[in-house]
Copies of this chain bind each other. A is one copy, B any other.
Amino acid sequence: MNAPLPKHLLPEIQQRETPTELIDALKARFAERCSTALVVREQHGRDESSFALPPPSAVVFAQSTTEVAEVVKLASQYSVPVIPFGVGTSLEGHLLAVQGGISIDMSHMNKVLSINAEDLTVTVQPGVTRKQLNEEIKSTGLFFPIDPGADATLGGMSATRASGTNAVRYGTMRENVLALEVVTASGEIIRTGTRAKKSSAGYDLTRLMVGSEGTLGVITEITVKIYPLPEAISAAICSFPSIEAAVRTTIEVIQMGVPIARVELIDHNAVRMANAHSKLGLREEPLLLMEFHGSPGSVKEQAELVQEIASGHGGQAFEWASTPEERTRLWTARHNMFFAALQSRPGCRAISTDTCVPISRLADCLLDSVAEVDASGIPYFLVGHVGDGNFHFGYLIDPEIPEEREIAEALNQKLVHRALSLEGTCTGEHGVGLHKMDFLVTEAGDGAVEMMRTIKRALDPKNIMNPGKIFSL
């Protein structure tokens, strides 16, 4: 069902052979936890991106850091790629075996190793998902705020420098990962960072690994910050006469320094899809879905200020989600947006954009792009972590109609170049993966990308760590 990947997106596909000796060695070591069954390999050879490629040669289900190190050492011996796999929610083809190789499934490494409530930190294995983590720390009165739409693993979220709806207040994985354990390309186990809140001790290897998309090492342990559950939480919906009105409201809220916890733009298409999928019954107009965290007094202050700003832009009176259940229902609908959209056009695939611009440029970037996609006739939805200047168009293409992909890619091209001209980035939170390698060069410049390549070559001389992602070598 997947569309074949256009050639220009993959300039350097070169499947490497996986020698039988390696497969034999892995099977001897891991027995039934090394699978070569087609169905298992296929499941590990795709993600939520719209690309189709041959699956990896084998999948190893690792249960410990030592085991990961063993797999990497064996793969290194044969110069065969290794691709860490969490739960497969990447949107950018990160998990695809573009050069063949071994998928290391990390989902069995899913223990919360230690909760340090008094320091607001928690250490987990990489297969722990964000919802699992929040479930396991619920009794402490603390929570982990980073929430990409999918229930991704913390390993995957670290590898892609993920964020989500709470990032406007709590930051992204960049700000929230304190320390890592990593298996390097030679199969060595290293630690980066400590549980101290800050440090000036040498190169920031933690942040080099965060966002490196598996190309520099396999993340096997993660220490992240957690936060006290706010004394008061209020969520509200505010409908607007236009996307522009909603965006102008957001810009003003951020520029006023309101410590809003979440401010999500949902366009009328997305509202319609969410209504159908999650039975919400919302007015099908552009809206902001907001959340305020703090003491009761501060939440009240924030909400009043934002309501005032919204009214100035034609926003309706806030509709409050008064119970925790109602709040959860709204945010679940927001997180299920991607799937609601897929359901709205049976058989379609979604191509998700991910530009992020300085907040003052948000209206310029967004409104022209809305006009373009409206004119194209491609069905789409628009959602955005607009408080961060980050938004996603989802172009819903029919994979059987190559022209639709071409139109969608052309729209994305225009959008990205617009965002870059406005001092933004091609990817706010999804990562580069396979899809944005050209954009990265345009954004960062040849010199900076060459510096990334130099680091990659130095740390992974055999190019076995998730090769073919971020940049060509």
Contacts and interface: CB of A to CB of B under 8 A. Distances in A.
B431 A356 contact: no
B203 A356 contact: no
A175 to B, nearest CB: 6
A344 B311 CA distance: 60
B202 A471 contact: yes
Contacts of A322: none
Interface stretch (A80-88, A207-215, A271-279, A345-353): A207-215
Contacts of A199: 161, 356, 425, 427-428
A228 interface: yes
Interface size class of A (residues with CB under 8 A): 35 or more
A359 B208 contact: no
Contact of A424 (B194, B251, B356): B194
Interface string A384-416: 000011100000000000000000000000000
* Stoichiometry (number of copies): 2
A444 B191 contact: yes
B255 A201 contact: no
A255 B167 contact: no
B301 A360 contact: no
A196 B423 contact: yes
Interface string A433-473: 00010011001110111011011011100000000001100
B295 A200 contact: no
A90 to B, nearest CB: 11
Interface in A281-301: 294-295, 297-298, 301
A314 B358 CA distance: 47
Contacts of A194: 423-425, 443
A212 B431 CA distance: 24
A62 interface: no
Contacts of A251: 118
Contacts of A449: 202
A267 B445 CA distance: 50
Contacts of A174: 198, 204, 207
Contact of A301 (B171, B212, B298): B298
Nearest to A203: B452
Interface string A178-205: 0000001000111110111111111111
